[in-house]
Chain A
Amino acid sequence: MHLTKKSKVAIIIGLLPALVLYILFAILPIIQSFYYSLMEWNGISDMTFVGIDNFKRLFQEPLFWSSVKNNVYVVTASVLGQIPIALFIALLLNRKLKGVRIFRTIGFLPVVLSTVVISLTWSLIYNSKNGMLNELLRTVGLDGLTQNWLGDTKWTMFAVLVTIIWQFIGLYLIIFLAALQNIPEEVLEAAKMDGASEWVTTFKITIPMIWSTIIVAVILCISGSLKTFDLIYVMTNGGPAHSTEVMALYMFNETFSKLNYGYGSAVSVFIFFFSLILIFIVTKVFKGKMI
């Protein structure tokens, strides 16, 4: 549309409220966390400029590195657990079967529920005394396999990862289903006419045709996994003995429990760049589209 003076004013009026709120409450905080990361500060007293001291301390802190390692576990488990299972189920659901809708509805349900509710439900399932999992093992006579799932450093990470995988399979399932339904029917018909078996069609035609969607799903999955916080905060609060602590949780505890605002901000800055770099690498390697 051509611009008159009046429309210029209108544009400013129209964009300003959204821009102001967005800059003030999303952009400003992320910039400020850079600034705070160079300070030593407990949130109340005066700030002292310490340069990159916070980062030096960060890189020498074994607990921080163990939280990075746990984050890598979450990313790996999510990508290897959620994506293949979701793709497999989506391929099964993408047929002319009766009741597909019901399976789809149930499949997506966990994605809609709040992480807090999911964490609490699974905490009850993992409960060592009366939890469903141990009760189930006892019922089928596998008493020896019962564990203190959330209290034993050997098992806690495993238990948490199972819940994380469970929570988001549905999201990728729906994404893959949408992509599969966009494949023109003629393409698959033609393959069938040429005598291609279902396996061949799936691996040589269907999957390559939705490859870009798979890459987007992987990127979403990685960036989502790096944000893991609520679930672990509620289920284990990083314990026992820091065995499930992830970066966001380490940052949270340093800042709000130990009141190391500067140091906590340094962790924030690290998380920010870590996500950005990882997403960048994945996009480059798979030649996917960023965003």
Chain B
Amino acid sequence: METVVKSKKDTRTKDLTSKKKSIKNTIIYTILGIFSLVNAYPIVWMVINSFKSESEFVVNQFGFPKVFVLENYINAWDIANLGVLFKNSIFICITATGITVLLGALASYFLSRFTFKMNKFIYSFFIFGLLIPIHATLVPMFILMRNLGLLDTPITLIFPYIAFHLPITIFILTSFMKAFPKDIEESAIMDGCGIFRVFWSIILPMSRPALATVVILNFIYNWNEFSFALVLINDPELQTLPLGLANFAGQFTTNYGAQMAGLTMSLVPIVIFYLLLEKEIVKGMTAGAVKG
């Protein structure tokens, strides 16, 4: 008898706590829902409205388009010269990212696996780069590029992009490579492997997770960079996507549909990239940000 009463009481308190818990969860989900809405809606609003005609946009901003108008996209592609912008951005992004990661990995290998006199100094020297505000270098960069005859060429932007992203690349890769066991190279060297062979066949494959991180970080930075492009590139045929879009929007302030279509198209690659590699990106961002 006693036990029955007790268990009844138990279920009642359980009911109460679970009820309390479900109220709490509802509140949490509501807050998270509002947060997500505020986060995503500006982008969603733009994407949806990019399919509307000018007249529908004015009367029906918040609903779905009644007729999907693809004209905005055709206009944007032509007027903003999006094909050229995409081509330039992809070329610069891939080249700069490739070179940064390769040179950064090589430098990190020597800085993390070898002891020599200047080691600590060179490492700190590279890390110092994290503190340089890029805007403080725009003027001399412009003049330097002009003196080198590198203003307004297809490869102009590659140089500052490499230089300014080597610090974070070396920072992440060095701390990763340092963690490898000490005798990792010994046996390979004993077998007659050269130093660069060890780097290429042993260290690089072992660093894959960190390499993924720095590739992603570099890619996002380079894809989105604006200031150097603004100062160093004038020729419309050489502009990158952010620069081209900014100019396009400045010239066509009243053509909302085309603007939104252009922005939407420019979003597609980076959003796909993000959704595919979300886990790695988040990992990379935290590794880079918490420490860097």
Interface residues of A (CB under 8 A from B): 1, 3, 6-8, 10-11, 14-15, 17-19, 21-22, 24-30, 32-33, 36, 43, 89, 92-93, 95, 97, 102-117, 119-125, 127, 130, 132, 135-136, 139, 166, 169-171, 174-175, 177-179, 213, 216-217, 220, 223, 226-227, 229-230, 233-234, 248, 251-252, 255-256, 261, 264-265, 268-269, 271-272, 275-276, 279, 291
Contact = CB atoms under 8 A, between A and B. Distances in A.
A7 B199 CA distance: 13
Contact of B289 (A124, A135, A136, A171): A171
A17 B103 contact: yes
B35 A107 contact: yes
B123 to A, nearest CB: 10
Contact of B263 (A7, A24, A121): A121
19 contacts: A18-B107, A22-B167, A26-B137, A27-B129, A28-B140, A30-B132, A32-B143, A89-B32, A103-B32, A103-B36, A105-B278, A108-B278, A108-B281, A115-B226, A171-B285, A178-B286, A264-B139, A268-B137, A269-B136
- Tell me which of A7, A139, A223 has the highest count of chain B C-beta atoms within 10 A of its own C-beta: A7
Contact of A124 (B242, B260, B282): B260
Contacts of A24: 144, 159, 163
Contacts of A95: 28
A43 B151 CA distance: 14
A21 B227 CA distance: 19
B43 interface: yes
Given A19-B122, A117-B245, A252-B135, 17 more contacts: A22-B167, A26-B137, A29-B140, A29-B144, A97-B28, A97-B29, A105-B278, A107-B39, A109-B39, A113-B267, A121-B43, A125-B45, A216-B289, A248-B135, A268-B135, A275-B131, A291-B130
B203 to A, nearest CB: 11
Interface in B252-284: 256, 259-260, 263, 266-267, 270-271, 273-275, 278, 281-282
Q: Is the interface of B mostly helix, strand, loop or mixed?
A: helix
- Tell me which of A109, A119, A132 has the highest count of chain B C-beta atoms within 10 A of its own C-beta: A109
Contacts of A108: 278, 281-282, 285
Interface stretch (B7-15, B68-76, B112-120, B206-214): B112-120
B35 A89 contact: yes
Q: Is the interface of A mostly helix, strand, loop or mixed?
A: helix
Contact of B286 (A29, A139, A175): A175
Given A21-B166, A26-B163, A89-B35, A117 B263 contact: yes
Contacts of A124: 46, 256, 259-260
B238 interface: no
Nearest to B248: A120
Interface of B: 25, 28-29, 31-32, 35-36, 38-40, 42-43, 45-46, 57-58, 61-62, 103-104, 106-107, 109-111, 113-116, 122, 126-127, 129-144, 159-160, 162-164, 166-167, 170, 185, 195-196, 199, 220, 223-224, 226-227, 230-231, 241-243, 245-246, 249, 256, 259-260, 263, 266-267, 270-271, 273-275, 278, 281-282, 285-286, 289-292
Contacts of A229: 135, 226-227
A117 B271 CA distance: 12
A21 B256 contact: no
Nearest to A24: B163
Contacts of A213: 290
Nearest to A4: B195
